[in-house]
Structure 1
Amino acid sequence: MGGIEYDGRAVCALDVSDLERAVQWYEQALGFEVVHRLESWGWAELSTPLPGISIGLGQVEEPKTDGGVVVTFGVRDIDTSRAHLESLGTRFDGETRQIAEEVRLATFYDPDGNTFMLAERLL
């Protein structure tokens, strides 16, 4: 078909203010694992449980966290997932919302204010 030939991988890159703190949070809260680290660049790439999808963390003085893409993780049980994150002090944006009889959504933030969402399909 032509055009772009993708290799099956995608990295979602995010700004963080403290790389070590961020890595620890992503490991503990979301179960991600460091697969590559470049200390001289203040960069770490973490694998997710989703094949081919990873999160890149880049340390900057002032993270830009307003606007942009919201990474949404599909989960089997949103209540259990949310309780786990809340037990670690994770901040959520209000209550879990239900959209028709299709999906339940919960928006949460990493320690720097990067926005994520949990989604549980109901169909």
Structure 2
Amino acid sequence: MSAAIEYDGRAVCALEVADLESSLGWYQQALEFEVVHRLESWGWAELSTPLPGISIGLGQVEKPQTEGGVVVTFGVRDIDAARRHLESLGTRFDGETRMVGDEVRLATFYDPDGNTFMLSQRLEAR
């Protein structure tokens, strides 16, 4: 039986930003993403992530809407090291890194426009 939707293995998480150039610099330095496509006439750029098939799209708008919506969560091997790197660049976090049960540690942070992201570190079974 064939699937109703035939996915091609790619997903783009599109976000609004106020200044595309400034945001590209932050995403490249803070998250180590690479620009893979730009469409200047639309104020759009797509950045690759270390996750195969997952990219971040940035669209420049006058007033970015960053409230609510999906929170992109990046699984990391060492949440403390990742957080230190982001904090060294002035990245704003929402409180301390939290423990959820004995399974995962989470840290919420924001890009310069206020788009919400999260770091997640799964803990070994105890």
Q: Say whether the fold is shared (TM-score over 0.5).
A: yes
Counterpart-to-counterpart distance in 2, 1:8 and 1:39: 26
SS at match of 1:86: helix
Q: What is the aligned length? A: 123
Counterpart-to-counterpart distance in 2, 1:58 and 1:95: 30
Corresponding position of 2:83: 82
Counterpart-to-counterpart distance in 2, 1:35 and 1:9: 14
Counterpart-to-counterpart distance in 1, 2:95 and 2:56: 25
Counterpart-to-counterpart distance in 2, 1:51 and 1:13: 16
Counterpart-to-counterpart distance in 2, 1:102 and 1:2: 33
SS at match of 2:22: helix
Q: Which runs of 5+ in 1 are unaligned?
A: none
TM-score by length of 2: 0.97
Offset of 1:100 from its aligned partner? 1.0
Q: Report % sequence identity.
A: 80
Counterpart-to-counterpart distance in 2, 1:120 and 1:52: 21
SS at match of 1:79: helix
Counterpart-to-counterpart distance in 2, 1:3 and 1:115: 32
Q: How does 1:1-123 map to 2 (within 5 A)?
A: 1-123=2-124
Counterpart-to-counterpart distance in 2, 1:59 and 1:52: 23
Deviation track 1:64-104 (CA, whole Å, cap 9, x = no partner) reads 00000000000000000000000000000000000111000
TM-score by length of 1: 0.99
- Which amino acid in structure 2 is aligned with residue 104 of structure 1? R
In the TM superposition, structure 1's runs of 4+ consecutive aligned residues that sit over 6 Å from their partners are: none
